[in-house]
Amino acid sequence: MSQFECAGPSGFGNQGLCPAEDLENLYENAPCGYLSLRPDGRIVKSNATLSSWTGFSQPELIGKKLHELLTIAGRMFYETHFSPLLRMQGFFNEVALDFVTKDGKKLPVLANAWNDVTTRQFAVHTHHHIPGCPSPPLRTRIG
């Protein structure tokens, strides 16, 4: 079993070791959704949190293109702005997008993405924004 350094009982320092299973559990049940994409935009990995938000099982998400999860307006904006920015700059931060759930409802998310040049994959990190709850101000970072 592979081990990784982990915070000790007080939450500070590396007084203990985290088994890989604990790290996988942390990934799967994080308070945010994760997607890993191939350069062509196809999903190769997602976490349980994103699956529960969207209603798609993890196997159903694998192989889909990211834009298939977006509204029509989100698809256009992603293809014309964010996908090129991700390829040229290597990342984008705090982009408000609407995903479409399996039952056709909108799911507002705040997305961050970066290009991992070592694996030639893109990672998308999303936070679900619950309508009616105050959210932090969005910052636009282009360039």
DSSP states along the chain: --EEEE--TTSSSS-EEEEHHHHHHHHHT-SSEEEEE-TTSBEEEE-HHHHHHHS--HHHHTT-BGGGGB-HHHHHHIIIIIHHHHHHHSEEEEEEEEEE-TTS-EEEEEEEEEEETTTTEEEEEEEEPPTTS--PPP-----
CA–CA separation, 61 vs 115, rounded Å? 20
Q: Which helix (H) or strand (E) holds 19?
A: strand 16-19
CA–CA separation, 10 vs 107, rounded Å? 36
How do the domains of the chain map onto residue ranges? Answer: 1-30, 31-143
- Residue 114 pLDDT grade (very low, low, confident, very high; cuts 50, 70, 90): confident
CA–CA separation, 62 vs 37, rounded Å? 9
pLDDT at 22: 82
> Does residue 8 register a pLDDT over 60?
no
Give the Cβ contact number of residue 78 at 10 Å. Answer: 24
pLDDT at 92: 84
Beta-bridge partners for 6? 16
pTM: 0.70
- Residue 120 pLDDT grade (very low, low, confident, very high; cuts 50, 70, 90): low
- Give the CATH H-level superfamily of domain 31-143: PAS domain (3.30.450.20)
Identity of residue 97? L
Convert the pLDDT of each residue in 41-90 to its tens digit.
899 999 999 999 999 999 999 999 998 999 999 999 888 988 888 888 88
